[in-house]
Chains A and B, each alone.
Chain A
Amino acid sequence: SYGLTQPLSVSVALGQTARITCGGDNIGSKNVHWYQKKTGQAPVLVICRGTERPSGIPERFSGSNSGNTATLTINGAQGGDEADYYCQVWHTSAVFFGAGTKLTVL
């Protein structure tokens, strides 16, 4: 098993920077992927392999990963960014998701 720790919720003022963390043992050595999940919709990959932004994802989404913490950063958060965000890794033949962070844009 591999535990991933995310804050339950993060709030950010409209237009400001939101940071969502994902903690795990030596997570900096792993490929971390981030998903945006809105109610009733399929998850959307927003960052892969720690720092890569898939085609079609706005530049305000970025990622970093070092030591025991991976971070998803949303610069200039918009109302449409309100969602649950999940980190994900592959570890010893299994996939693990964090419990998810609810992002509120005020």
Chain B
Amino acid sequence: EAQLVESGGGLVRPGGSLRLSCVTSGFAFGSYGMDWVRQSLGKGLEWVAAINVAGDYLHYADSVKGRFTISRDDSGNTLYLQMNNVRDDDTAVYYCARPDIKGASVGAFDIWGQGTLVTVSS
């Protein structure tokens, strides 16, 4: 069974940094692109970033471009999100999500992690 487990969330001050991890299992991680999606309290889902299989096709939401970096470690079956210069409005539950088609970096997200909470506050 495919599983995604996020970690690394917590309390961070505005302007600070945090790295989120998403450990995967139960499927061929190296054959799938991956994404990060977030949800702020009381608000809707917001796509954050996508990475392709090779790790050289990176796309970001305008709200995080230049501050966040998505990456992957295929040897460890792990997806990362490096968050720099965080702002109050980055406070959210962050989910990693897998597109349902091999080789695609986006599409229908059929597998989701349980999420990790990031709180930006001074």
Contact = CB atoms under 8 A, between A and B. Distances in A.
Real complex partners, A and B? yes
Interface of A: 1, 31, 33, 35, 37, 42-45, 48-49, 54, 84, 86, 88, 90, 93-100
B35 A95 contact: yes
B44 A45 contact: no
B59 interface: yes
A95 B106 contact: yes
Contact of A33 (B35, B46, B62, B108): B108
B44 A100 contact: yes
Given A95-B47, A97-B47, A45 B110 contact: yes
Interface residues on B, range: 20 to 34
Contact of B108 (A45, A84, A99): A45
6 contacts: A42-B113, A54-B100, A84-B44, A86-B44, A94-B61, A97-B46
Interface in B75-122: 95, 97, 100, 106-110, 112-115
B59 A93 contact: yes
Contact of B44 (A42, A48, A99): A99
A60 B59 CA distance: 35
Contacts of B39: 37
Contacts of B112: 42-44
